[in-house]
A = this chain, B = another copy of it.
Amino acid sequence: MGRHREFDPDEALHVALQVFRRQGYEGTSISDLTDAMGITRPSLYAAFGNKEDLFRQALDLYERQHLCFAHAALQAPTAQESVERLLRGYADVLTDPTNPPGCLGVNGAVACSEASEAIREELIARRMVNENNLRDRLEQARSNGDFPKNEDPTDWARYVVSIGLGMAVKAASGASREELHRVVDFAMRGWPTVPA
């Protein structure tokens, strides 16, 4: 009962995601969002809560829709293959021509005012989840024998994530897909091999 919504919340959330991805959390105003989403302020607050809630929902959508490749990548047969798929898939997402360049998890907030500290910490935590997932995969690989016993999965996961973060900043700075893939080429050169 009651009046029907005149906009599609899912579609509106996609638009909000685009704006946040381009301008970051702090650089995006409610007016920026309502203008792009084609709805009024009260509609936004009724449908999504406040700005912080909306950002978190956009972040969820982003991970669900754009970072979903990561789960599949981690299931590749070898650790090396997993990492390479991870980095190449990420390079493609970062430079997807239908979206603003870069990653919401980085563009969202790297440094910000105290008012946005909660969002910054949320992003740090989410990035850490990914790093830990990769570490777990490398530990599994070490058990399986396709990752050297004397190498530290925690250190390697941090290294791979750092490469990804660097590519994210480069993408936001205008780097092309090909340039990022060439970064991946070099990043994989030092990958450790199990002694025969």
Contacts and interface: CB of A to CB of B under 8 A. Distances in A.
Interface string A158-196: 110111111111101111000100110111111110000
A6 interface: no
Stoichiometry (number of copies): 2
Contact-size category for A:
35 or more
B113 A32 contact: yes
Contacts of A189: 189-190, 192
A186 B173 contact: no
**Which of A165, A166, A169, A189 gathers the greatest number of chain B CB atoms within 10 Å?**
A166
11 contacts: A26-B112, A106-B110, A107-B111, A110-B172, A128-B173, A158-B182, A159-B187, A161-B170, A162-B163, A189-B192, A190-B190
The 3 closest A-B pairs by CB, nearest first: A189-B190, A166-B166, A107-B111
